[in-house]
A and B are shown apart, each in its own frame.
Chain A
Amino acid sequence: MASATSDGTTRRDFLYIASGAMGAVGVGLAAWPFIDQMNPSAAVLAMSSTEVDLTPVQEGQQITIMWRSKPVFVRKRTKKEIEEAKAVNVADLPDGVARNANLPDSAPATDANRVIKPDWLVLIGICTHLGCIPLFNQGEFGGYLCPCHGSQYDTAGRIRKGPAPENLFIPPYNFMNDTRIKIG
């Protein structure tokens, strides 16, 4: 062929590869809307925050509120529960990091890093194993027991036993005053 170069490739080979590559890119671009439509819509993504009044919660009690369609536990811990959580050696925990959205990712899972004020434990109430809602005040460690696959958490919401890989997550929140928090 007249246009063949010295190594045997032709204009036709180039056109095949170029049009094939363009076609692949086009298919990929066309596929993306079909994939991305399943991601959370703009309405779902709209960031929301929730304010919680703490006055009705007595020591040893817990309330559950919804934040971004997830349950959030707000627990007023007893002195005994705080002492138990503080007594744990971080090196012995299955998950050694705090999982606290208000702190850097590497913060260790000490009790102090799991709370803002020691009395108040605020957690996303979703078991980190497969997403069930753990039961309040059950299990060997006095914190939570997941009814689905038996994960057990302590009074700082840290995983102690069972299949869950991570501590219960702590959402971003702050104290607006002594009796009111804002989540999100």
Chain B
Amino acid sequence: MSAGESTYVPKSGFARWMDSRLPIMRFAHDTMLTYPTPKNLNIWYTFGGILAIMLVFQILTGIVLAMHYVANDKMAFDSVENIMRDVNYGWLLRYAHANGASMFFLAVYVHIFRGLYYGSYKAPREVLWILGVIIYVLMIATAFLGYVLPWGQMSFWAATVITNLFSSIDQIIPHLGTAISTWLWGGFAVGDPTLNRFFSLHYLLPFVIFAVVGLHIWALHVPGNNNPLGIDVKGPQDTVPFHPYYTVKDGFYLVLFFIVFAGLVFYAPNFVGDVENYQPANPLVTPPEIVPEWYLLPFYAMLRSIPQKLVGVIVLFGALAVLAFAPWLDTSKVRSMRFRPMMKPFFWILVLDCILLGYLGANRPDATWNLGGIEISLVWPARLGTAYYYAYFLLLMPLIGLLETPKPLPDSIAKPVLAAAE
């Protein structure tokens, strides 16, 4: 693509014939082999490749699971148990798919925080970043739809709570929200029509994600990779070809990542799951504690911290939307936190804040902390955490960019590397 002229030379008569008709080999050569990549990318940059592999892995396991799954409210739960007990290697495929979702989100959170730390959302990579936010939103939707399919208690009640978020629109336009919920359900409550359409969409969305990932990689290859120094590539001395340098590096960390993944699948396959989902769905009984999967807990804590329904829903979706505006909210000209002494601690507080919100989201809504004899409702730390999350993007990003004196930037990517070698 645009980073450098193509160096592809067709080696055979067929390759030359093909190259003048559909230059697909040239495309693969330029994007996967010779693509010039900054030479200082660290471990945190390997998660993009890991994510691409995880997407393909989820699609493959998902396609074969769909060969055995039945999207019917009477049969779905039993069909999943049939996969677990009777289908050849069904237990492996299902545990790999279910835990694969968790590993996928683990990788995407590392990927997102890496982007925030090294300023990868800033010009000229705004479109790349926004496509990433779109992929993340699609991932949340896909994971939610997939979680409903086993039709256990958590599946059913997660579907009920999330689809009811739309009923909050009733507070702006009466009856519209209820009409939307009814439309989503295909009935007056979550039921068989809901399960069927969720299965249809759960099968569709990964391919939409696949397409947006294609755009994401395209938008990456136009300006080229950001890097831990956050400075622009000055010339060929700052880059190495993607292959073999980063194919090998990504491959190595991919293996380490899959060792952790395999550990989860083989030794603790239900570690991230909820036992309640081994109870078949019962529309008459809400489980005493309903919680989403771990990767959505921070948003759940935000929703619960707001006592007003509509505002709570707006805060929940706003937390995703605000990410898309990060490129314009951040006023600093320096990308990498390595050279931003004032902003850096606030970044790490944001990381801790998201972990805290996740912890709070896992607790009962009426839970309290006992601080030296004083009972504090968990609603208060959740409100504080929500406020900090928003403040990071809406206050700290614009203000600190103006107030801060960044550390001096190195002249080029190659220079500190070469200086260290001397």
Whether chains A and B associate is: yes
**Does A68 lie at the interface of the complex (its beta carbon under 8 Å from any beta carbon of B)?**
yes
| Chain B residues with CB under 8 A of A69 | 187-189, 191, 283
Q: Tell me whether B191 and A130 are in contact (CB under 8 A).
A: no
Q: Knowing A149-B365, A163-B308 touch, does A131 contact B191 (C-beta < 8 A)?
A: no
> Which residue of A is nearest B367, CB measured?
A150
Query: Which of the candidate stretches B159-167, B229-237, B267-275, B324-332 sits at the interface with the other chain?
Result: B159-167
* Max count, chain A CB within 10 A of own CB: residue among B168, B185, B366: B366
Please report the C-alpha to C-alpha distance between residue A149 and residue B364 in the assembled complex, in whole angstroms.
8
Cross-interface CB contact of B188 among A68, A147, A162, cutoff 8 Å = A68
Q: In the complex, are the beta carbons of A130 and B186 less than 8 A apart? A: no
Main secondary structure, interface of A, reads: loop
Report whether B308 and A41 are in contact in the complex, using a CB–CB cutoff of 8 Å.
no
Cβ contacts under 8 Å, B168 to chain A = 165
Chain A residues lying within 8 Å of B373, measured Cβ to Cβ, are none
The CA of A147 and the CA of B285, in the complex, are separated in Å by: 11
Contact with B along A8-32 (1 / 0, CB 8 A): 0000000000000000000000000
**In the assembled complex, B157 has its CB within 8 A of some CB on chain A:** yes
A164 within 8 A of B: yes
Q: Take A38-B186, A41-B186 as given contacts and tell me if A165 and B284 are in contact as well, using a CB distance cutoff of 8 Å.
A: no
Which B142-193 residues have a C-beta within 8 angstroms of A? 157, 160-165, 167-168, 170-171, 182-189, 191, 193
Cross-chain contact B309 with A44 (CB below 8 angstroms): no
Contacts of A148 in B (CB 8 A): 157, 161, 286, 290, 365
Asked if A131 meets B309 with Cβ closer than 8 Å, knowing A39-B183, A147-B288, the reply is no
CA distance A131 to B185 in the complex (A): 13
B286 touches A133 (CB 8 A): yes
Is there a chain B Cβ closer than 8 Å to A132's Cβ?
yes
- Check: B306 CB closer than 8 A to any chain A CB: yes
Question: Contact check: which of B287, B312, B364 meets A163 at CB < 8 Å?
Answer: B312
- Chain B residues, CB < 8 A from A35: 183
Contact B193 A44 (CB under 8 A): yes
A35 to B184, CA, bound (A): 10
* A149 and B286 contacting across the interface, CB-CB below 8 Å: no
Distance between B153 CB and nearest chain A CB, rounded to angstroms: 11
Size category of the binding interface on chain A: 20 to 34
Given contacts A129-B164, A130-B165, A147-B289, contact A41 B307 (CB under 8 A): no
Knowing A150-B365, A165-B309, the reply to whether A38 touches B184 (Cβ < 8 A) is yes
Residues of B within 8 A of A131 (CB): 160-161, 163-164, 167, 189
Q: How far is the CA of A44 from the CA of B286 in the complex (A)?
A: 23
For the complex, what is the distance from the CA of A29 to the CA of B356, rounded to whole Å? 49
Alpha-carbon separation in the docked complex, A71 to B188 (Å)? 11
B280 to chain A, nearest CB (A): 16
Return A170 CB to nearest CB of chain B, in Å.
16
B355 to chain A, nearest CB (A): 22
Q: Given A163-B307, A163-B312 in contact, is the A132-B161 Cβ separation under 8 Å?
A: yes
Write the nearest CB–CB distance from A36 to chain B, whole angstroms: 9
Question: Is A88 among interface residues, defined by CB-CB distance under 8 A?
Answer: no
Q: Is the CB of B186 within 8 A of A133?
A: no
Assess A40 versus B182: contact at CB under 8 Å? Given A69-B283, A150-B304, A165-B308: yes
For the complex formed, measure the closest distance between the CB of B16 and the CB atoms of chain A, giving whole angstroms.
45
Contact A163 B160 (CB under 8 A): no
Q: Tell whether A163 pairs with B288 under 8 Å between CB atoms, given A38-B197, A69-B187, A132-B160.
A: no
26 A–B contacts, CB within 8 A, in A order? A38-B193, A39-B183, A40-B182, A40-B185, A40-B187, A44-B187, A68-B188, A126-B189, A130-B162, A130-B309, A131-B164, A131-B189, A132-B160, A132-B290, A135-B286, A147-B365, A148-B161, A148-B290, A149-B365, A150-B366, A162-B307, A163-B308, A163-B312, A165-B168, A165-B308, A165-B309
Q: 14 additional contacts, CB 8 Å, given A39-B186, A130-B167, A147-B290?
A: A41-B193, A64-B284, A69-B191, A71-B283, A132-B157, A133-B286, A147-B288, A147-B365, A150-B366, A163-B306, A163-B307, A163-B312, A165-B171, A165-B310
Nearest 4 pairs between A and B by C-beta? Answer: A150-B365, A131-B164, A130-B164, A133-B286
